[in-house]
């Protein structure tokens, strides 16, 4: 039983970081109707910002996390202004946004390779490696940190979405951007807000993931998993993105325990295909006409 609980905790830990990544996809998709594949580049840059905030600036952990969050948020906003805003003004088809997002992702990755280098880098050790023990269950300090910070970050996001005027405007715009504009909502401001929120969560996720594993220019590929989680839960649904991420984290963890660790990616993509075939809207998503 303790072994089972241990794996559940491990799955919740990685699933919570997937959730931070996945809600960024869902936020943009709910308003702009396309999948922001450049989100992985923002997560990667957030990991590097956190690394250098700790190692070069010698900031304490909380300050470095804030710097990573705001740095990634700023990058996400700049990315929207350069890659997506001109397309929005021309009412370009959704496919153009996806192509632009892919180009931006490739640019960010190669920019880091050219400037920082392709070398794998590790975060300095901040916390004691000795785990917390609850009976026979060992709780890694980084795993606990990942779960707690992810839960707090997602809780703050849900409070903003559900309890504030900005959140009300975001929810209204997700139903109909044109209708919201007619009612006085500044859609450009809402798009700015969702990109900075998604970018900040990406920065937090990137730093946590980098601390748990390592940092390198291709770290953004992990967002393939978060995209799968977002589709699994239902693109455009924030609760769906969280539920899908937790389930994916648990599935991957138990697949590894069962001896299929080399097939984790295969299982994840097989799950994506299955969901698209059986229930294209995901577990908690709603049917829409023209979303990519």
| Least-confidence region, from 222-226, 235-239, 284-288 | 284-288
CB 46 within 8 A of CB 211: no
The reported pTM is 0.86
Q: pLDDT, tens digit, for every residue of 139-159?
A: 777 888 888 898 899 899 989
Q: CA–CA separation, 273 vs 276, rounded Å?
A: 5
For residue 169, pLDDT over 60 is answered with yes
Nearest CA-CA partner of 27 in 141, 132, 153, 135: 153
181 domain residue, yes or no: yes
pLDDT at position 65:
94
User: Around 132, how many Cα atoms within 13 Å sit in the side-chain half-sphere?
Assistant: 11
Region class of 41: left (phi > 0), else alpha (psi between -120 and 50), else beta:
alpha
Share of the chain above pLDDT 70, in %: 96
**Which tops the pLDDT comparison, 193 or 240?**
193
Measured distance CA(43)–CA(209) in Å, rounded: 9
Taking only the tens place, the pLDDT of each residue in 259-279 is 777 777 788 778 778 877 888
How wide is the angle at C-alpha 104 spanned by C-alphas 103 and 105, nearest 5°? Answer: 90
At 100-146, the pLDDT tens digits run 999 999 999 999 999 999 999 999 888 777 777 777 777 777 888 88
- The reported pLDDT for the residue numbered 83 is 92
Domain boundaries, position 204: 2-123+137-278
Q: Three-state SS for 62?
A: helix
Question: Would 290 be classed as within a structural domain?
Answer: no
Q: How far apart are CA 66 and CA 58, in angstroms?
A: 14
In the predicted model, is pLDDT for residue 226 greater than 50?
yes
Flag whether pLDDT at 176 surpasses 60.
Answer: yes
Give me the residues paired with residue 215 across strands: 121
Residue 287 in any domain: the answer is no
CATH number for the domain harbouring residue 232: 1.10.3470
* Section 44-62 average pLDDT: 93
Within-domain flag for 291: no
User: Can you tell me the distance from the alpha carbon of 13 to that of 144, in angstroms, rounded to the nearest whole number?
Assistant: 7
The domain total for the chain is 1
Tell me the mean pLDDT in the region 282-290: 59
Confirm if 38 and 198 have CB atoms less than 8 A apart: no
48, 116 contact by CB (below 8 A): yes
Closest CA to 68 of 167, 177, 217, 199: 199
Per-residue model confidence (pLDDT) at position 287: 54
List the beta bridge partners of residue 121.
Answer: 215
- pLDDT tier, 175 (very low <50, low <70, confident <90, very high otherwise): confident
In a domain, residue 130? The reply is: no
List, as one string, the DSSP characters of 264-286: HHHHHHHHHHHHHHH-TTTTT--
Higher pLDDT, 219 or 282: 219
Predicted pLDDT at 3: 73
Domain annotation covers residue 185: yes
User: Within 10 Å of residue 117's Cβ, how many Cβ atoms?
Assistant: 11
DSSP state for residue 132 in the 8-state scheme: E
pLDDT at 285: 62
Q: Give the model's pLDDT for residue 51.
A: 94
CA–CA separation, 53 and 47 (whole Å): 10
When mean pLDDT is compared across 20-24, 167-171, 198-202, 229-233, the lowest value belongs to 229-233
Residue 73, domain member (yes or no) = yes
- Residue 43 located in a structural domain: yes
Per-residue confidence (pLDDT) for residue 292, from 0 to 100: 38
How high does pLDDT run on average in the chain?
Answer: 85
Alpha-carbon distance of 43 to 115, in angstroms, equals: 17
């Amino acid at each position: 039983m303790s072994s089972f609980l241990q794996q559940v905790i491990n799955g919740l830990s990685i699933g919570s970081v997937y959730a931070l990544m996945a809600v960024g996809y869902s936020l943009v998709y709910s308003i702009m109707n396309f999948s922001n594949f450049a989100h992985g580049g923002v997560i990667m840059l957030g990991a590097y910002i956190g690394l250098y905030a700790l190692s070069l600036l010698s900031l304490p952990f909380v300050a470095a996390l804030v710097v990573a969050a705001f740095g990634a948020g700023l990058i996400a906003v700049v990315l929207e202004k350069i890659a997506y805003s001109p397309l929005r003004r021309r009412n370009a088809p959704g496919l153009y946004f996806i192509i632009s997002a892919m180009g931006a992702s490739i640019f960010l990755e190669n920019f880091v390779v050219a400037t920082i280098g392709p070398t794998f880098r590790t975060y300095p050790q901040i916390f004691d490696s000795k785990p917390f023990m609850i009976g026979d269950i060992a709780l890694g300090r980084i795993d606990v940190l990942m779960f707690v910070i992810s839960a707090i970050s997602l809780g703050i996001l849900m409070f903003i979405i559900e309890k504030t005027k900005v959140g009300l405007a975001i929810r209204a715009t997700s139903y109909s951007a044109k209708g919201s504009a007619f009612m006085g909502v500044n859609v450009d401001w809402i798009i700015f807000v969702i990109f900075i929120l998604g970018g900040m969560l990406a920065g937090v996720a990137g730093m946590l993931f980098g601390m748990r594993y390592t940092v390198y220019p291709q770290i953004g590929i992990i967002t393939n998993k978060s995209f799968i989680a977002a589709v699994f839960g239902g693109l455009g649904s924030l609760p769906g993105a969280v539920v899908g991420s937790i389930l994916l984290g648990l599935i991957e963890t138990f697949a590894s325990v069962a001896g299929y660790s080399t097939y984790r990616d295969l299982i994840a993509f097989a799950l994506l295909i299955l969901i698209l075939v059986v229930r294209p809207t995901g577990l908690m998503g709603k049917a829409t006409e023209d979303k990519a």
